[in-house]
């Protein structure tokens, strides 16, 4: 038995086989081919396999995210049959006598560059699509796996690190645990693990030869046991059963009110990253959605999501929540959430750079598309909207002016919309200090404790070397939260917490005594937080 040590970012026990995820960084080499007819046939077979994969993805997306969002896989299938694209590849193989991989990769680059240089925005967007389908065909020709997880058996996923754009594409039903060499306790992989209620470790030094081996992940003590002995397996199977029994007992809280022993009620909502997460929110009895991270619609796409694509996603969530509150955060792209087609410049300090509301206010055409989709969807449910990274009253007033334009456009088109509550994220010290004035402009505050802690303590929360200095319980943070609650309430603003601190049950009683109105947490944490609320007496 081999024991690997790391740092726990979410507790729990996972037992299963390891799958090591290696990012595909291989280059395509040019190889001279004698039998060009056989090479053309090899390309055509790979192309058909790619279409089969895309059809399977289309059918999976159809169920999870609806027809509009699934259409990209249908479009990719059609592009693979494009006559100009196919002829360019076969002509290169036949005339130059080269291997199919090189012909596909070169044609993909040529077509992508051609589309990118066009003036038409729609055609520009096809540049990423043709690159994507070419990469898929090359992988098939090279005999590489299409997906991070393409087997039937759920696995313990080991990786160097996982970017947000990679985590959103995972088949989450096949992940038992996350184990990474790098990353931090506040990374998006860690947040995803908490959302999925599965163990996660960081800082684990593992060798590639552990791939496929049987293992146990202990998310409580930060250990991975590779090829454990029978006694260790028996011990952890027993521990896993105990944890599942505790989870079952918590499930008995389903349908119970979020009310303290002294009668104080609080709203307990869920944080989600996409349409597919609604099922988990409902299963865990969330009263509503306190944070819909809309940027994942952008991270999952090869180009800017259209108004219709966004409308369908927001409408689906609103309808599925059946009248319960759904608060959509406008796109929070930038910092550690990079999207190629935004063409953002490389920044020395991206966490303090061009991100979130700053993109929206300087590129209002992107912002208005999202707002139109949100307001249209509000007709079908109880939708609120909140704006991230606010630092001033002037910003909120600019947002209101854009919202008024959007409403006027929808009115002119005869498109109905509901009564949308508007709030802001409090995640900068500036917003805390201006909260008395900001409360006069909005309906609610939602405190984003992850970034608020980062900016207040001057600590990059993505830097694992600073984990020992990162103190989310710092008195300065707690004082700021109290200030925001007090200033919000003076102006009739309700105040919630949607950052990871909201799920910290060691602070639940403190937040209740502060007067917090709402906590929005990962779906898996709703029952533990409810249990804490119901056992608290704020008068003592």
450 known member of a binding site: yes
CA distances from 184 to 3, 87, 163, 378, 463 (A): 21, 47, 12, 36, 6
Residues 57-107 pLDDT 10s: 788 767 655 666 567 778 889 999 999 899 999 999 999 999 999 999 999
The predicted structure's pLDDT at residue 338: 63
- Rounded to an integer, what distance in angstroms lies between the CA atom of residue 101 and that of residue 134? 9
Closest by Cα among 502, 528, 530 to 516: 502
Spatial neighbors of 186 by CB under 8 A, at least 6 apart, are 450, 454, 461, 462, 470, 500
- Rounded to an integer, what distance in angstroms lies between the CA atom of residue 366 and that of residue 359? 9
- Rounded to an integer, what distance in angstroms lies between the CA atom of residue 295 and that of residue 280? 19
Q: Is 79 or 345 the better-scoring residue by pLDDT?
A: 79
Single pTM value for the model: 0.63
For the annotated catalytic residues, the residue numbers are: 188, 498
Question: Which residues, listed in sequence order, are joined to residue 225 by a DSSP beta bridge?
Answer: 3, 216
The predicted structure's pLDDT at residue 435: 97
- Rounded to an integer, what distance in angstroms lies between the CA atom of residue 348 and that of residue 345? 10
530 known member of a binding site: no
Confidence of residue 466 (pLDDT cuts 50, 70, 90): confident
358 known member of a binding site: no
376 known member of a binding site: no
Report all structural domains of the chain as residue ranges with CATH numbers, in order of start. 1-21+146-239 (3.50.30.10), 34-140 (1.10.274.10), 260-533 (3.20.20.60)
pLDDT above 90 for 409:
yes
The predicted structure's pLDDT at residue 298: 84
531 known member of a binding site: no
pLDDT above 80 for 178:
yes
Instruction: Quote the mean pLDDT of the chain.
Output: 88
CB–CB of 390/424 below 8 Å? yes
- Rounded to an integer, what distance in angstroms lies between the CA atom of residue 231 and that of residue 218? 15
Q: Is 183 or 68 the better-scoring residue by pLDDT?
A: 183
Residues 234-280 pLDDT 10s: 999 999 988 888 778 777 888 899 999 999 999 999 999 888 788 88
Residue percentage of the chain with pLDDT more than 70: 91
Q: Compute how many other C-beta atoms are within 10 angstroms of the C-beta atom of residue 458.
A: 8
């Amino acid at each position: 038995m081999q024991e690997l040590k790391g740092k726990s970012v979410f507790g729990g026990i996972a037992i299963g086989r390891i799958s090591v995820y290696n990012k595909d960084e291989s280059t395509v080499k040019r190889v001279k081919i004698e039998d060009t007819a056989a090479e053309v046939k090899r390309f055509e077979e790979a192309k058909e396999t790619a279409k089969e994969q895309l059809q399977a993805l289309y059918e999976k997306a159809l169920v999870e995210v609806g027809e509009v969002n699934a259409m990209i896989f249908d479009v990719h299938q059609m592009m693979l049959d494009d006559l100009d694209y196919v002829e360019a590849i076969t002509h290169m193989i036949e005339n130059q006598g080269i291997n199919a991989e090189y012909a596909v990769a070169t044609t993909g680059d040529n077509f992508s560059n051609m589309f990118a240089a066009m003036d038409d925005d729609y055609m520009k967007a096809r540049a990423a699509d043709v690159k994507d389908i070419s990469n898929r065909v090359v992988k098939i020709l090279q005999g590489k796996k299409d997906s991070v997880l393409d087997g039937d058996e759920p696995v313990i996923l080991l990786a160097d690190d996982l970017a947000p754009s990679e985590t959103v594409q995972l088949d989450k039903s096949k992940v038992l645990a996350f184990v990474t060499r790098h990353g931090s306790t506040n990374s998006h992989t860690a947040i995803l693990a908490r959302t999925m209620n599965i163990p996660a470790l960081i800082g684990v030094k593992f060798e590639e030869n552990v791939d496929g081996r049987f293992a146990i992940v202990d998310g409580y003590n930060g250990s991975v046991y590779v090829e454990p002995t029978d006694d260790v397996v028996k011990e952890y199977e027993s521990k896993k059963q105990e944890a599942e029994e505790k989870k079952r007992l918590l499930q008995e809280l389903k349908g119970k009110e979020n009310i303290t022993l002294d009668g104080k009620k609080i709203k307990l909502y869920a944080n989600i990253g996409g349409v597919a997460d609604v099922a988990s929110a409902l299963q865990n009895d969330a009263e509503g959605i306190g944070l819909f991270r809309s940027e994942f619609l952008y991270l999952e796409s090869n180009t800017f999501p259209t108004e219709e694509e966004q409308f369908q996603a927001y409408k689906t969530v609103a309808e599925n929540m059946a009248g319960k509150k759904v608060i959509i955060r406008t796109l929070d792209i930038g910092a550690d959430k990079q999207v190629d087609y935004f063409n953002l410049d490389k920044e020395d300090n991206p966490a303090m750079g061009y991100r979130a509301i700053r993109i929206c206010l300087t590129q209002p055409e992107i912002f208005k598309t999202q707002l139109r989709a949100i307001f249209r969807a509000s007709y079908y449910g109880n939708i609120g909207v909140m704006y991230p990274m606010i630092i001033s009253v002037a910003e909120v007033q600019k947002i209101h002016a854009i919202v008024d334009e959007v409403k006027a456009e929808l009115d002119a088109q005869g498109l109905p919309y509901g009564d949308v509550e508007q709030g802001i994220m409090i995640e900068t010290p500036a917003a805390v200090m201006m909260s008395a004035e900001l409360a006069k402009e909005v309906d609610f505050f939602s405190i984003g404790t992850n970034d608020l802690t980062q900016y207040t303590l001057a600590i990059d929360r993505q830097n694992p070397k600073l984990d020992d200095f990162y103190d989310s319980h710092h008195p300065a943070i707690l004082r700021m939260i109290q200030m925001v609650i007090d200033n919000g309430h003076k102006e009739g603003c309700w105040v919630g917490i949607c950052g990871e601190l909201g799920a910290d049950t060691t602070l639940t009683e403190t937040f209740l005594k502060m007067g917090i109105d709402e906590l929005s947490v990962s779906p898996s944490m709703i029952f533990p937080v409810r249990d804490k609320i119901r056992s608290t007496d704020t008068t003592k």
